[in-house]
Amino acid sequence: MESKLRLAEYKVLLYRLFLGYLFYFIARVLFFAFNTHLFAVDSVWALLKLCYYGMAFDTTALLYINSLFILLSVLPLTVNTRPAFQKGMAILYFVTNLLAYATNFVDIIYYRFSQVRSTKATLDVLADENNKKLLFTHFSEAYWYVIIIFILCAVCWIWLYKRVKLKPAIVTDKKVYFLSSIVSFLLILTLVIGGIRGDFAHSTRPINMVDAYKHITVPNQGDIVLNTPFAVFRTLGTNNYKLQHWVDEAYINTNIKPIKQYSTKPVAKPNVVIIILESMAREYWGSMNRDVNIPGFKSYTPFLDSLSNSSLIFTNAYATGRQSIHAVSSVIAGIPSFQNAFTSSPYAKQKIQSVVSVCDSMGYQTSFFHGAANGSMGFQGFGSILGYQHYYGRTEYNDDKDFDGIWGIWDEHFFPFMARALTDQKQPFMATLFTLSSHDPYQLPEKYKARFKGGPLAIDKCVQYTDNSLRIFFNYAKTQPWFSNTIFVITADHTSQTYYPEYSKQVNRFAVPILFYSANSAYNLKGVRTDLASQMDIYPTVVDLIGYNKPFRSWGRSLVSNQPDEQPKVINSTGNIYQFMQGNYTYLFDGKNFTGIFAVADKGLEKNLMTAQPNAEMQKGMQDCKALIQDYTDRIVNGKLVAK
C-alpha cells in the first residue's frame, strides 16, 4: 500500500527540500560571520531569531528554484523510482540549487562593498562591465577561501542527498496509484503556491524584500533575514532605476529644487495625524466635486463633506501611483513610484528623510496604524525603515471579534483604537492611519447593510461606511486634550472603481482628495484650492506647518506657503509612460522620447498638441520632466534621499 500511495517518494522529497533549508541556514550564518561588523546583532539568540524569520524567504526561494524538480517528483509517471530517472533528477536538483546557492556566497564578500543583498540591479551593473573576466579572476584569487567553503558545502549537500535513496518500486495497482497521485499533486501544488506567496492570507500580497524589515529595528539586519536568490527573483523585471544625464545639476537645483528649507515658526509644535484612505478617490467626495458639473452626481461622504467646510481642501490633486504601498512612500517620504514600487526596489533600505525622520528630530512620538495583519502590504517593514517608533496592527488590537474575515479590523473599531492609543502618548506626536474597509470585496458589517445602500459601484457603500467611521473617530477625538492642537491630513492612497465618465479619463485615474484640518485657527487651514497638488506635496507641507527650519529633500512643495520658486507639478506613471503635469500642459514621456503634450484641462488626453517646434513653455516643461526623473533616480540609486 505504501508504494501505491507513494509515501516513500514524498518522504524523500521532503528530505531533499529540508536539505535546502539546512544549507541556506549555513549560508546565512556564514554571511553574518564574515560581515559581523556591519550588523548590530548582540547575541546568538538574536541571530537565531533572524534566521528563523529568514525561513519564510528561504521557502519562497527554494520553491522557485525547485519548482520543476517538485513537479517531476510528484507527477504519476510510473518510472519515478527507477535509477535512471532518479539520476536525472539528481542532476536537475544540484544544477539548479547549487547555481542559486552560489549567489549567497558571492554576497558574503560583495555585501561589504554594496551593503545590500545582490538583486537584478547588481546583474544589470555586471552586464555593463567590459572586464568581467578580469573581475572574476581578481575576486577568485582574493577570496579563494569563500570558494573553498562553497565547494565544501556543496560536497556535504551532495553526500547527504545520496544518504537517503529511493528504492525502485513497481506499480501494481494503477488505479490507486493515479488517484492518490492526483490528490497529492493538488495538495502539494496548494502548499507550493502558499510557500511562494509567503502565506495563504487574502489580506497580504506576495512576500517581498521589504517584509524582511518588519521584524527588526536595525534596517541592515533585514539583509540577514533575506537570502540572495530571493532578492534576485523578487527584483527580476522590476528595477527600472537607470541613471540618466539630460540636464546639469545647476538646472535641477534652480528648477526642481530637491533641497528645500522653510522658516515657519508656529507658536507650538502641533500634533500631526495623517490619514490615508483605502481606495477613496476624489470621485466619491461631494466637497471635491462642487464645481465639476457632473450630471446626477451623488456624494458618498457626508461627514468628510461637512469637515471640508472647515478645512483647506485641494480639488485638483493626484496620486503618484496605483498601489497602496506607492502612497505610503509618496505621502510620508515624498518619494513617488513609477514603473515599480520604490518600497519593493533594492534601494528602499537606505536612510530616507521623511515626515517620520523630521518629526523624530523634533522630539515627536511617531506611530503607524493599520488594522490588517501585521506585515500586510509591506507597511510594517517600510515603516521600520522610515523609523516609526510604534506600529499598531491587528496583533496590537488583539480582539478578533471585530475582524472582517478577510482584511483586518473594521474601520469603525480600529479608528477609536487609534484615538485611545494617541491619548496615551506623549505630545507632540505624529501618527499615520491607513484604513482598510473600503477595499475589495467591498463588504459591510451586518448591522450597516440596511443603512448604507451605496450606489452603482460596489465600493460606494464601503465609502459611506468608512466616512461614518471617520465621524465616530472625530467625535471621540474632539473630547481628547490633544485634539485642539492637532493637524489632520486626509488623502486617498489611489483611485478605484469609476462610474462617472469624467473620472474614467486617463489623468483622472489618479484623482485623489487632499484635505488639511485643524480646530486651531492659528494654522489657517481653510479654503478651496484648485491649483495642481500631489501626494508628494504632503510631506513638505507638514514640514512647513510644524516649523522644521533645516534643509530637507523633497520633490514636492509646501501647499500652505507662497514659495514663488516652487511651481506646482504632478508626476506619475501609467505603466511604462511618465505622466507629468505642470503649468498649462500634461506631458507623456516614455523614458526616451516625449510621445504627447496635451492641454492641462484635457484630462482624457484627446488632442495631442505636440509639434516639431513646441513653444517655450512646452520646451521648459519637457526639460523639467527630465530633470525631475534624473534627480529622482540619481538620489535613489546613489543614496542621496537625505539633505546633506
When mean pLDDT is compared over 181-185, 264-268, 292-296, the highest value belongs to: 292-296
Given a contact cutoff of 8 angstroms between Cβ atoms, the answer to whether 580 and 571 are in contact is yes
- Looking at the DSSP assignment, which residues form a beta bridge with residue 594? 589
Task: Establish if 32 belongs to a structural domain.
Answer: yes
For 486: left if phi > 0, alpha if psi spans -120 to 50, otherwise beta; the answer is: beta
**Three-state SS at 589:** strand
Q: Return d(Cα 325, Cα 330) in angstroms, integer.
A: 9
pLDDT at 376: 81
The helix (run of H) or strand (run of E) holding residue 57 is helix 44-65
Distances (CA, A) of 340 to 416, 507, 572: 34, 19, 11
Which residues, 6+ apart, have CB-to-CB distance to 300 below 8 Å? 284, 285, 454, 455, 460, 461, 463, 464, 467
Given a contact cutoff of 8 angstroms between Cβ atoms, the answer to whether 486 and 269 are in contact is no
Per annotation, catalytic residue among 324, 330, 367, 534: 324
- Cβ neighbourhood burial of 279 (10 Å; 0-12, 13-18, 19+): buried
Decide if pLDDT at 232 tops 70: yes
Give the DSSP letter of residue 426.
P
Decide if pLDDT at 201 tops 70: no
- Looking at the DSSP assignment, which residues form a beta bridge with residue 274? 432, 489
Given a contact cutoff of 8 angstroms between Cβ atoms, the answer to whether 301 and 467 are in contact is yes
For 279: left if phi > 0, alpha if psi spans -120 to 50, otherwise beta; the answer is: left
Which residues, 6+ apart, have CB-to-CB distance to 328 below 8 Å? 276, 343, 379, 382, 383, 432, 434, 493
Whether residue 308 is found in the same domain as residue 205: no
Average pLDDT of the segment spanning 620-644: 95
Nearest to 637 by CA among 388, 335, 383: 335
State the amino acid at position 29 in one-letter form.
V
Whether residue 227 is found in the same domain as residue 253: no
The number of folded domains in the chain is 2
Per-residue pLDDT of 20-78, as tens digits, reads 999 999 999 999 999 887 787 889 999 999 999 999 999 999 999 999 999 998 888 87
Whether residue 430 is found in the same domain as residue 460: yes
Residue 118: pLDDT band (50, 70, 90) is confident
Task: Establish if 622 belongs to a structural domain.
Answer: yes
Per-residue pLDDT of 95-114, as tens digits, reads 999 999 999 999 998 887 66
Domain stops at, among 208, 235, 262: 235
**Strand segments (E) across 414-466:** 429-434
Q: Return d(Cα 157, Cα 161) in angstroms, integer.
A: 6
Give the DSSP letter of residue 153.
H
Burial string for 463-499 (b: 16+ CB within 10 Å, else e) reads bbbbbbbbbbbbebbeeeebbebbbbbbbbbbbbbbb
Q: Which residue has the higher pLDDT, 222 or 248?
A: 248
Per-residue pLDDT of 460-475, as tens digits, reads 999 999 999 999 999 9
The helix (run of H) or strand (run of E) holding residue 383 is helix 379-386
**Three-state SS at 503:** helix
Domain stops at, among 235, 262, 293: 235
Neighbours of 197 (CB within 10 A): 16
pLDDT at 42: 83
Q: Return d(Cα 574, Cα 588) in angstroms, integer.
A: 10
- Looking at the DSSP assignment, which residues form a beta bridge with residue 596? 588
Given a contact cutoff of 8 angstroms between Cβ atoms, the answer to whether 122 and 114 are in contact is yes
Per-residue pLDDT of 522-563, as tens digits, reads 999 999 999 999 999 999 999 999 999 999 999 999 999 877
Which residues, 6+ apart, have CB-to-CB distance to 75 below 8 Å? 181, 185
Average pLDDT of the segment spanning 328-347: 87
- The C-alpha R_g of the chain, in whole angstroms, comes to 27
**Three-state SS at 518:** strand
Neighbours of 577 (CB within 10 A): 17
What's the number of CA atoms in the CB half-sphere (13 Å) around residue 452?
A: 26
**Three-state SS at 29:** helix
> CA quadruple 365, 369, 374, 377: dihedral positive or negative?
negative
Decide if pLDDT at 340 tops 80: no
pLDDT at 191: 85
Average pLDDT of the segment spanning 595-601: 93
Average pLDDT of the segment spanning 165-183: 81
- Name which of 81-95, 229-243, 379-393 the model is least confident about: 229-243
pLDDT at 564: 77
Mean pLDDT of the chain: 90
Residue 14: all three cell numbers together: 521532503
What percent of the chain is modeled with pLDDT above 90? 67
Whether residue 490 is found in the same domain as residue 621: yes
Give the DSSP letter of residue 348.
T
Task: Establish if 417 belongs to a structural domain.
Answer: yes
For 204: left if phi > 0, alpha if psi spans -120 to 50, otherwise beta; the answer is: beta
Task: Establish if 363 belongs to a structural domain.
Answer: yes
- Numbers of helices and strands, H then E, in the chain: 21, 15
Q: Return d(Cα 264, Cα 440) in angstroms, integer.
A: 42
Task: Establish if 240 belongs to a structural domain.
Answer: no
Which residues, 6+ apart, have CB-to-CB distance to 500 below 8 Å? 283, 294, 297
Decide if pLDDT at 433 tops 60: yes
Whether residue 22 is found in the same domain as residue 138: yes
pLDDT at 78: 79
Q: Return d(Cα 166, Cα 89) in angstroms, integer.
A: 12
Residue 402: all three cell numbers together: 471585530
To the question of whether residue 2 is assigned a binding role by annotation, the answer is no
Average pLDDT of the segment spanning 82-89: 92
Task: Establish if 242 belongs to a structural domain.
Answer: no
Residue 547: all three cell numbers together: 516649523
To the question of whether residue 278 is assigned a binding role by annotation, the answer is yes
pLDDT at 267: 81
Decide if pLDDT at 128 tops 60: no
Given a contact cutoff of 8 angstroms between Cβ atoms, the answer to whether 375 and 384 are in contact is no
Q: For residue 370, what is the domain's CATH number?
A: 3.40.720.10
pLDDT at 61: 94
Task: Establish if 644 belongs to a structural domain.
Answer: no
- Name which of 170-174, 438-442, 453-457 the model is least confident about: 170-174
Whether residue 185 is found in the same domain as residue 311: no
Decide if pLDDT at 129 tops 60: no
Given a contact cutoff of 8 angstroms between Cβ atoms, the answer to whether 624 and 235 are in contact is no
Average pLDDT of the segment spanning 289-296: 93
Given a contact cutoff of 8 angstroms between Cβ atoms, the answer to whether 303 and 468 are in contact is yes
To the question of whether residue 129 is assigned a binding role by annotation, the answer is no
Task: Establish if 337 belongs to a structural domain.
Answer: yes
To the question of whether residue 446 is assigned a binding role by annotation, the answer is no
What percent of the chain is modeled with pLDDT above 70? 94
Provide the domain limits for residue 157.
Answer: 2-235
Residue 483: all three cell numbers together: 485634539
Give the DSSP letter of residue 408.
B
Decide if pLDDT at 632 tops 80: yes
Which residues, 6+ apart, have CB-to-CB distance to 233 below 8 Å? 60, 61, 64
Which residues, 6+ apart, have CB-to-CB distance to 102 below 8 Å? 150
Q: Return d(Cα 510, Cα 281) in angstroms, integer.
A: 8
> Is 324 an active-site residue?
yes
The owner of cell 526623473 is 629
Whether residue 299 is found in the same domain as residue 395: yes
Whether residue 264 is found in the same domain as residue 229: no
Whether residue 152 is found in the same domain as residue 102: yes
Whether residue 225 is found in the same domain as residue 259: no
Whether residue 339 is found in the same domain as residue 472: yes
Average pLDDT of the segment spanning 588-603: 92
Q: Return d(Cα 54, Cα 34) in angstroms, integer.
A: 18
Whether residue 210 is found in the same domain as residue 356: no
